[in-house]
């Protein structure tokens, strides 16, 4: 397999568009993206970042070991607050994942061309975020080694999971979501793995990428079925992603606790998930763009669009906050009114107002096109949103549980160092996986970029 030197014999050159820098050909996009994996190697910044992520991952391992050895008593959870950091983190992580699926599935169905250069790493983000999310319900079990009790299997005791419980729905929703995200991601990778197989120069890499490329040859028959499969997966993943966070919100709404028992939760949670997910996509995209010089592929238009989606979903979230407050008073239910007043003025008032500031007030800056088009500003704002979204889940869980109906059962939740160690540790897990991903797999879909080169050139001609 010779002919690996770039020789762009008479191929077409795209004049570019608002989603692709000018002067790119099939060869140039292929080389640029595959070089990150095949020839660029690992720079010092990469090594430092990866080292840091692995250090945090080791901290997670330490925290989890202690947790398994001693039990969930090392956390701050108690009665009445039985769901502390673990469930907050679970909802936060799974929400982050949702943007990846939305970009790859929903924007595909909507024929949004700008998704092309962000879908691959957003899908990877989904996968890793779901991995982080999935650990928390398991860690949260008092006896995690009995996790398989959640699965329906004909056991010797003759009992079955409670299929009418949203917690069991969650098991199915999250595991289906993880599986479908993996399938979608892998199917998207197949043609690119073939490209890497053909461009790799070392025997080992050729073999490894070759195995996972399954012998892809880019035949017209293959492409036809492939495109159909992509469309079908997108059509399946779009309702799935909505259902997953709806089921997550059912974990709360189906309970009778004031602050949880509300019909607004499903859309409110889905919007919040996409909101925090896009914040994470921006948090990852901005440094990648800068470090790997991908300004041609991740253009200002991409930043602008992501900022707009963040603003739009943020407004839905803001509306939900307002409606929650309004409905509490409108209902005349004294427990609901107390719950809202307790959030705003009770012992966790600081959490509530920080959340309002970071999630609702500060993101209003996104109305300005100048800020949406400024990578640094957008990056900073994405952290504000992620903080806000974490605090939102914390607020929903803690302030609702700590003072419910009977004052004699009230209590407080104080996180311990183990709560923080395990939470920050999963950030290490996420970034370790992400660093490995950008080192070994193309972070932008190469074949879709070639398609984009073709389409933009066609458009310019006509």
Under the rule (CB under 8 A), what is the footprint of other proteins?
1-4, 8-12, 25-27, 30, 152, 158-160, 163-164, 166, 168-169, 172-173, 176, 179-180, 183-184, 186-187, 191, 194-195, 197-199, 210-211, 214-229, 232-233, 236-237, 239-240, 243, 247, 250, 447-448, 450-451, 454
* Nearest residue (CB) to other proteins, 26 versus 50: 26
Contact 389, 279 (CB under 8 A): yes
Query: In the bound complex, what is the minimum distance in angstroms from residue 119's beta carbon to other proteins?
Result: 15
Q: Which residues pair with 13 in a beta bridge?
A: 25
CA 237 – CA 222 distance, rounded (Å)? 22
* Nearest residue (CB) to other proteins, 79 versus 220: 220
* Nearest residue (CB) to other proteins, 66 versus 236: 236
Query: In the bound complex, what is the minimum distance in angstroms from residue 148's beta carbon to other proteins?
Result: 16
CA 425 – CA 194 distance, rounded (Å)? 35
CA 374 – CA 335 distance, rounded (Å)? 45
Q: Could you please report the per-residue DSSP string of 414-454? A: ---HHHHHHHHHHHHHHHHHHHHHHHHS-SS-HHHHHHHHH
CA 216 – CA 204 distance, rounded (Å)? 18
Query: In the bound complex, what is the minimum distance in angstroms from residue 233's beta carbon to other proteins?
Result: 5
* Nearest residue (CB) to other proteins, 7 versus 406: 7
Query: In the bound complex, what is the minimum distance in angstroms from residue 424's beta carbon to other proteins?
Result: 31
* Nearest residue (CB) to other proteins, 209 versus 430: 209
* Nearest residue (CB) to other proteins, 435 versus 447: 447
* Nearest residue (CB) to other proteins, 244 versus 396: 244
Tokens 């607004």 map to which residue? 264
Query: In the bound complex, what is the minimum distance in angstroms from residue 212's beta carbon to other proteins?
Result: 9
CA 284 – CA 437 distance, rounded (Å)? 13
Q: 65-74 long-range CB contacts below 8 Å, 24 or more apart?
A: 66/418, 67/139, 67/418, 67/422, 68/144, 71/142, 72/139, 72/140, 72/142, 74/416, 74/418
Query: In the bound complex, what is the minimum distance in angstroms from residue 416's beta carbon to other proteins?
Result: 34
Query: In the bound complex, what is the minimum distance in angstroms from residue 199's beta carbon to other proteins?
Result: 7
């Amino acid at each position: 397999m010779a002919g690996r030197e770039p020789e762009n014999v008479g191929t077409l050159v795209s004049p570019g568009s608002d989603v692709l820098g000018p002067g790119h050909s099939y060869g140039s996009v292929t080389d640029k993206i595959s070089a990150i994996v095949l020839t660029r190697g690992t720079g010092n910044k990469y090594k430092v970042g990866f080292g840091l992520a692995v250090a945090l991952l080791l901290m997670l391992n330490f925290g989890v070991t202690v947790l398994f050895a001693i039990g969930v008593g090392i956390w701050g959870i108690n009665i009445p607050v039985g769901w502390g950091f673990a469930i907050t983190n679970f909802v936060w992580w799974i929400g982050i994942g949702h943007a990846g699926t939305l970009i790859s599935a929903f924007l595909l169905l909507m024929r949004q061309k700008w998704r092309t250069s962000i879908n691959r790493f957003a899908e990877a983000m989904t996968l890793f975020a779901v991995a982080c999310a999935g650990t928390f319900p398991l860690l949260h079990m008092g006896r995690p080694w009995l996790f398989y009790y959640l699965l329906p299997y004909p056991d010797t005791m003759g009992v079955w999971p409670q299929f009418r419980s949203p917690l069991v729905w969650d098991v199915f929703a999250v595991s289906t979501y993880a599986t479908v995200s993996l399938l979608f991601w892998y199917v998207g990778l197949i043609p690119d793995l073939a490209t890497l197989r053909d461009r790799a120069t070392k025997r080992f890499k050729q073999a490894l990428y070759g195995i996972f490329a399954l012998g892809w040859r880019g035949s017209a028959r293959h492409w036809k079925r492939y495109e159909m499969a992509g469309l079908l997966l997108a059509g399946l993943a779009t309702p799935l992603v909505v259902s997953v966070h709806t089921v997550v919100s059912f974990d709360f709404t189906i309970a009778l606790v004031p602050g949880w028992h509300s019909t607004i939760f499903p859309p409110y949670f889905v919007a919040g998930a996409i909101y925090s997910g896009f914040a994470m996509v921006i948090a990852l995209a901005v440094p990648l763009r800068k470090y790997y010089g991908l300004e041609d592929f991740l253009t200002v238009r991409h930043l602008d669009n992501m900022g707009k989606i963040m603003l739009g979903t943020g407004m839905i979230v803001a509306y939900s906050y307002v409606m929650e407050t309004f409905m509490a008073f409108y209902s005349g239910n004294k427990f609901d009114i107390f719950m809202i007043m307790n959030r705003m003025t009770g012992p966790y008032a600081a959490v509530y107002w920080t959340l309002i500031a970071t999630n609702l007030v500060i993101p209003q800056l996104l109305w300005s096109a100048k800020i949406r088009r400024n990578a640094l500003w957008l990056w900073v704002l994405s952290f504000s949103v992620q903080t806000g979204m974490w605090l939102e889940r914390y607020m929903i869980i803690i302030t609702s549980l700590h003072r419910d109906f009977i004052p004699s059962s009230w209590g407080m939740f104080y996180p311990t160092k183990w709560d923080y160690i395990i939470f920050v540790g999963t950030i290490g897990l996420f970034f370790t996986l992400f660093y490995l991903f950008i080192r070994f797999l193309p972070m932008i879909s190469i074949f879709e970029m070639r398609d984009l080169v073709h389409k933009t050139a066609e458009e310019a001609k006509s």
